[in-house]
Amino acid sequence: MEALDGRILVTGGAGFIGSALVWALNGRGRRNILVCDVIGGSRKGRNLAPLRYADYVEGPVLRSRLAKNPAAFGKFSAVFHLGACSSTTEGNATYLIDNNTAFTRELAEWALGRGTRFVYASSAATYGDGSRGMDDKDPALERLRPLNLYGYSKHLFDLDARSRGWLGRIAGLKYFNVFGPNEEYKGEMRSVVSKAHEQIRKSGRLSLFRSHDPGYPDGGQMRDFLYVKDAVEMTLFFAEKGSKANGLYNLGSGQANTWLTLAGDIFGALGRETKVEFIEMPEALRAKYQYYTRADISKLRAAGYNRPITPLADAVADYVTNYLVPDRPLGVQPKRPATRARVQFRAARMAALEQAEASPPPLSHRPAS
């Protein structure tokens, strides 16, 4: 039996990549899904509303019940452990190591003990500034130096899994810069695409950090941007492939694009002229800033993943046109499918109205005082 043919547990299932994964599972006809998350008062609940799943459980409840009785929730064929605190500015190391490291260890041990396929989210943040490489084939994990506590909490489990001999039985996925629908609840942790759409809608322009590295001009800093729809297809591959694809894998587009390229694609999707201004980077970020990331996905390809990856301009257009502009999560079907031309027309009309409001009418048309 394939790992996707039975009951499936998705932790972080109301979050960004997790809810997109549930959406992709629904697209494969899978609904026997237990979603685990901590929703609280966030907008994450909106991500779940249009999706189909069997049940929901809060994260602390799942953890405590499994600790008392490993059979508390029955049998699963696959576990996708995507739940974590993903804030790169979180400063509570005790919390991160418990929530991101220890909980992952507990779930992995539980899944392996019950013969369940276990796929978990590691992170490209484990690579730090990239000066020690971003090679998912390099076994010398201890060489890596994450730049923040979030990356460190993920790195600790990768090391622990290796020391326990688990990496030959489970799959850890190092997501690069993922963007796309269902991330809006993340606030400041949203992608630049989501933030840029909001900025452009309000001001007509986009602010980017200046470069403080002479090797990169302003806006020339480079990232590997991966559309969330591609990210979840890659993630599901590791359950479809089963135990034949284990260990740590980079998940990215395999290409590095500049911030200016991304900005042009966003403005283009909105039908607007590109207007970018550069602002100073906060001192606290300068020592921890990554100027270049690119995922080497040759290991993923060698494992058998052969789907094409959505070009950046097409991914941005889909996200902006079909999700950001209509403010719609994955799973909600539009009454009238959006097209790039329709969005551009609407954006041009809004821009004209904004310009008209900003310019005073000619004297002959002003009301008498």
Long-range contacts, stretch 271-275, CB < 8 angstroms, 24+ apart: 271/340, 271/343, 271/344, 271/345, 271/347, 271/348, 272/200, 272/204, 272/347, 272/348, 272/351, 275/204, 275/205, 275/206
What is the DSSP pairing of strand 247-251 with strand 78-81?
Answer: unpaired
In Å, how far are 26, 68, 82, 154, 290 from 147, measured between CA atoms? Answer: 36, 36, 21, 12, 9
Catalytic, out of 186, 195, 229, 299: 186
Task: State yes or no: is 292 an active-site residue.
Answer: no
Is residue 144 a contact partner of residue 157, using CB atoms and an 8 Å limit?
no
Residues in the chain: 369
The question of whether 186 is a catalytic residue gets the answer yes
Catalytic residue among 53, 120, 127, 150: 150
Whole-angstrom Cα distance, residue 119 to residue 8?
A: 11
Q: Which residue numbers are catalytic?
A: 150, 186
